[in-house]
Structure 1
Amino acid sequence: MSSHSIGSNCEEDISTGALENFHHFLSSETAVRPGSLTGSPCEELKETEANTTNTCTDANADNMLYSYINSYVAGFILKKISKTVTKCTDCKSACFAESNREEHAMIKARERCGAFASRLKYPSEKMSKTLFSIHEIIKQILQTECEKLNFVDSVKTKIVANVEFDWLHQAHKVEVSDLIIKFSIRTLVHSWCKEINNILSGKATPNEETCNFLKRMALDKYRKTLKHKN
């Protein structure tokens, strides 16, 4: 199987599918309606990922979809650090789910689309909650401090100060938490930068009432470029 096969939690898949929807969903710039998980796996996945432009008034349904996508992204990050995590039985137990839960629906859908089980990682509840906390911090800083120097250092400092990692084995807490933070920043910031590039190229249009100044600048630049071309 290619490293970019659907379901393998690869960079291409995570940036063009689940993670992109994850960013839109949590930034509240686009409402989300979850797809039904009763059809065929591939259809379920396409519906879940395609419906990010629909309006949803059911808060419980929103939360359900968030948990699916959050778990999938946590699984992607867990795959990146699995070699280190699996060296310790306690760390492995803390990071990996002992059994499949409802929030793993998107991972299971990808798996049923043809991915090998060994390529998919099922994060524990604590791992998923940690990713949520990290994303909230990254999202806040991206909205207010994205243009500042030493941006990554600033993000890491705030994550270390505000996110709890005591659920990891104490002997490996620093090493494993550093890896989680490193790949979380790399993955989530990449998604955000991709969104800015999509605005610059006209592939995406942000909500002008809620987007931050950098997205407005990107939109203005695209409109000026389009005007000159015409």
Structure 2
Amino acid sequence: MGKFSQFTKLTDEHVLPERIRKMKVRNCSQVFSSTVATAMKVRAMVSNELTPSSQFYVNPKASDTADLLLFFDILFDSVNGSLSNPPPGKNLRGPLTRKSKHLCTWQNALNILPTMYFKSPSDTKTLISPSIKNWTFTIKGLICIWEKLNKAGFTSLSTRAFNQDPLENFFSCIRSQGGQNSNPTCSLFISYFKSLIVNNLVSPHSIGSNCEEDQSVGVLDPLRSFITDDLPSDGTEEVQNVPLPVFPQDPVSPTSCDTDTDDLATPYVAGFILHKIFLKLECSACRNLMMTEDDLFRNKLIKLRQFSNCRLKHPSTQFSKALERITNLVFKVLPLYISSFNLKQKIFDYISGVDLTHIFCTEHRDTLKKTFLDICINVLIYHYVRRINRILNGKDLRHKDIDILTQKAFQKYSRKLHKRK
């Protein structure tokens, strides 16, 4: 497989049963997402051409599971709409209006949800979970509320506002005032509430609980900000100059590297980089070299995630190979240079000898090469540091032995885990 993952947000907490945090709704929503659904579907499509003994083989029936994940992803978006300008491809994340597709989505869900049931492989008995029934009640309730608000003259409705998190945060603040008394009487409740109004320095967010911040502000916040104005900072900081490491003397030849036909994530990242380059490029010759209109095997993941006004581009084979080679070189030297000063410039100097003349036209060869390498370095540094942080937090132990830095990160996490025990 390639250096990139098709499941960018999934960690061990999403997959391994013993590490799943059941009270984290975020983990569930990240599994029931269009990202996971499309990646699973394309892997099932590819498996039709593979033998079951292949390490990349997935049961083609996983395509049905992908359809289920996509259904719930759409349903989750429809009841979490709050953004006035939803992200591309996520129109249901916007508010409910007369012209939005929320009602159509809910009517479709009301036809599908009653047909769902749970069944054990070792038993013929079926079980209908209360959560399925409650989904039906929730959807019907939102439809009823919208009909009443629509008649009253409302033009939009933020479905995300219908949650119990603000109430949970409020009661958490009340309990924090009582110390060990977590079940106050009515008179104590009033007393605690008055204390919160007068001295509202307690965090409005219930730390460690299954709720999100409700963006509330205290009654006396304007007075506090008036009294405690922050002094402006001069912005001067001393930068420590780390000793420079010795560059490896590996030759950087323009020959093409071996590619994995099962690597579908690298072309996806290449499509993102193409979008960044095309924001500054109008040359049709360069576009023809970097893009392709052919239905390539490597671009199946991009095709499945395509939507209206999509920013993803279909990279050509030579462009994907160029990114793959740059990725291998950068990930090879990053562990050596990660703590050095002026990291980006050192990596740029190291990979600048790569021959990229075959993906740019003669006129823009020099300028586009610099732009391409600059974007690649930004993406790869972010990807690498994110992986290290996940290992340090114990969320991703699959990549603990890739290089010396990942090994050290895992050792530090192991020591921290040992101290907790």
Q: Same fold (TM over 0.5)?
A: yes
SS of residue in 2 equivalent to 1:203 = coil
Of stretches 93-102 and 194-203 in structure 1, the one that deviates more from structure 2 is 93-102
Cα deviations by residue, 1:134-179 (Å, 9 ceiling, x for unpaired): 1111111124333333322121112211232343122211221112
Structure number with the bigger relative contact order (C-alpha 8 A, sep ≥ 6) is: 1
Offset, 1:197? 0.3
Distance between the aligned counterparts of 1:18 and 1:45, measured in 2?
A: 6
Determine if contact 1:74/1:128 at 8 Å carries over to the other structure.
yes
Distance between the aligned counterparts of 2:388 and 2:394, measured in 1?
A: 10
TM-score in terms of structure 2 length: 0.39
Of stretches 176-185 and 148-157 in structure 1, the one that deviates more from structure 2 is 148-157
Q: Pick the aligned partner of 1:205 from 389, 397, 404.
A: 397
- 1:128 is matched with 320
- 1:104 is matched with 299
Q: Pick the aligned partner of 2:345 from 137, 149, 153.
A: 153
SS of residue in 1 equivalent to 2:318 = helix
Change in 2 beyond 3 A, CA 1:129/1:207:
closer
Q: Pick the aligned partner of 2:280 from 76, 84, 87.
A: 84
Change in 2 beyond 3 A, CA 1:154/1:48:
farther
Distance between the aligned counterparts of 1:167 and 1:117, measured in 2?
A: 25
Unaligned runs of 5+ in 2: 10-33, 44-51, 58-258
Greater share of residues in helix = 1
Cα deviations by residue, 1:68-120 (Å, 9 ceiling, x for unpaired): 222111001111111223x1111111111132211110101212xxx225422
- 1:167 is matched with 359
How many residues are aligned here? 186
Mapping of residues 44-83 of structure 1, within 5 Å:
44-46=38-40, 58=54, 63-66=260-263, 68-83=264-279
Determine if contact 2:330/2:377 at 8 Å carries over to the other structure.
yes
Distance between the aligned counterparts of 2:7 and 2:286, measured in 1?
A: 25
> AA paired with 1:18?
Q
* Runs ≥4 residues deviating over 6 A: 59-62
> What RMSD in Å do the two structures reach over aligned CA positions?
3.2
> Between Structure 1 and Structure 2, whose CA radius of gyration is higher?
2
Change in 2 beyond 3 A, CA 1:47/1:118:
closer
TM-score in terms of structure 1 length: 0.69
